[in-house]
Each structure stands twice: as structure tokens, then as C-alpha cells.
Amino acid sequence: MGRLIIYASRYGAAKRYAEELSARTGIPAVSFERAKRSEGCETAVFFGGVYAGNVYGLRKAARRLARQPVRSLIVAPVGIADPADAAVAESLRVGIGRALPQNLRGKEKIVPLRGSLDCSRLGFFHRTLLKLLYKSMKNKREEELPAEMRALVQVYGRAEDFVDFSALEKIDALLHV
Ligand SMILES: Cc1cc2nc3c(=O)[nH]c(=O)nc-3n(C[C@H](O)[C@H](O)[C@H](O)COP(=O)(O)O)c2cc1C
């Protein structure tokens, strides 16, 4: 049975989760840019950082996986927003559904995870994008902000690390179904 962990990470949080799951399960972990190794894959776990509501790398990785005999696909979006918030979880679910090709749609199980953000480490593009998002949000009242943006506004200018490996137990359980 071919099993593979794929990650798409810009600042390391999704990669940290992927490598920890790989160490726990013995399933190899590869970056989505090198996911040509998905040959024969039946079970795939994808970890991707969330950027402006989209899961980085998912569309590309899923296009490759769609050509494999995938029976089980676990998608773990890694974002700064708290997925315990139903609105955050719902907007991730909708976005992930849209990023998947037809023959994978409905096979996915989604396990949202919390990532980390260190504003001092951002590259020029992301710093600018975050600044624009922040400017458009900062004068709104908290209850007016989309749930996924609330956390970004709170962390803006600072560093926060919410990576929690105990959340991987949910994925481990799905791998044993
Ligand atoms: C420009 C920018 C946009 C972001 N947009 C979102 C977002 O829409 N929702 C969210 O939950 N987190 C958002 N984040 C936070 C990232 O998802 C978080 O830093 C995550 O850990 C990134 O994963 P990575 O470290 O593996 O790249 C954003 C971060 C940046 C820099």
C-alpha cells in the first residue's frame, strides 16, 4: 500500500508537522515540488500553509495525486487562525473542495492545524501582502472581521507559534481506520 506525506511550506510550520508525522509513522515526507514520488500512492496526507485563505501547493499536489490510485486523502491546512472557530473551519473546507480535481473531491478528510507566524522573518512579498491585509482590516470592529483574519490582525507585527504536535493524533487515528 503506497503511503506518502506531502508538504507545502514557506516558513516551516507545515514542514515541521509533516516531518513529525513521518517520524511517528515511518511514512516518507516530501515537499510538493518533489511529489513526483506519488507514483502508486493510495493514501496521501497533505500539509500546506494557509495564505490569504488558500492552502499553498494543494492544487498542484492534488493534480498529480489525481493520476494515482488514491483511496484516502487527508488534507491538513496549517494556518494562524483557530480552526476550533466554526467559520474558520468552514471557509477552509470550501476552499479545499475547490482546489481538488473532480475525482478526488469527496475523498478528502480535513484536519485543520495551527501554524506559526514571525513577522520579522517574512520575505518582501508576504510582508507587503500582510501589510495590505492588515490595513484593510485594522479599522474594522472585531466582530466585523472574517474569522480567519481576526488572528492575523492580532499577530501582526509580532511572532506567535501555535504548532502543536499533539494535534497529529487525529491524523494518526485516520491512518489506522
Ligand atoms: C501574507 C500572509 C497571509 C496569511 N493568510 C492567512 C490566512 O488567510 N489564514 C490563516 O489562518 N493564516 C494565514 N497566514 C498565516 C500562515 O498560514 C501561517 O504563518 C502558517 O504557519 C504558514 O505555514 P508555513 O510556515 O508552513 O509556510 C498568513 C500569513 C501570511 C504571511
Query: Is 79 a pocket residue for ligand 1 (Cβ < 6 Å)?
Result: yes
Query: Is 168 a pocket residue for ligand 1 (Cβ < 6 Å)?
Result: no
Closest CA to 95 of 49, 159, 150: 49
Q: Name the residue of 5, 20, 82, 117 whose CB sits within 8 Å of the most ligand 1 atoms, as the mutation to test its pocket.
A: 117
Q: Name the residue of 31, 46, 80 whose CB sits within 8 Å of the most ligand 1 atoms, as the mutation to test its pocket.
A: 80
Distance 161 CA to ligand 1 centre (A): 12
pLDDT surpassing 90 at residue 171: yes
Query: Is 55 a pocket residue for ligand 1 (Cβ < 6 Å)?
Result: no
In sequence order, which residues have a C-beta less than 8 Å from that of residue 44 and are 6 or more positions away?
Answer: 3, 4, 5, 6, 38, 65, 68, 70, 72, 73, 74
pLDDT surpassing 60 at residue 1: no
Confidence category of residue 41, pLDDT binned at 50, 70, 90: very high
Q: Read off the pTM.
A: 0.95
Stronger pLDDT, 7 or 40, i.e. the higher one? 7
Beta pairing, strands 41-51 & 72-79? parallel
Please tell me the predicted confidence (pLDDT) of residue 144.
87
Confidence category of residue 150, pLDDT binned at 50, 70, 90: confident
Distance 116 CA to ligand 1 centre (A): 8
CA distance 33 to 122: 21
Please tell me the predicted confidence (pLDDT) of residue 34.
82
Distance 110 CA to ligand 1 centre (A): 17
For atom 22 of ligand 1, the residue with the nearest CA is: 49
What CATH number is given for 2-116+161-175 in this structure? 3.40.50.360
Please tell me the predicted confidence (pLDDT) of residue 19.
98
pLDDT surpassing 90 at residue 23: yes
CA distance 31 to 38: 11
Query: Is 89 a pocket residue for ligand 1 (Cβ < 6 Å)?
Result: no
Query: Is 9 a pocket residue for ligand 1 (Cβ < 6 Å)?
Result: yes
State the chain's mean pLDDT as an integer.
93
pLDDT surpassing 60 at residue 109: yes
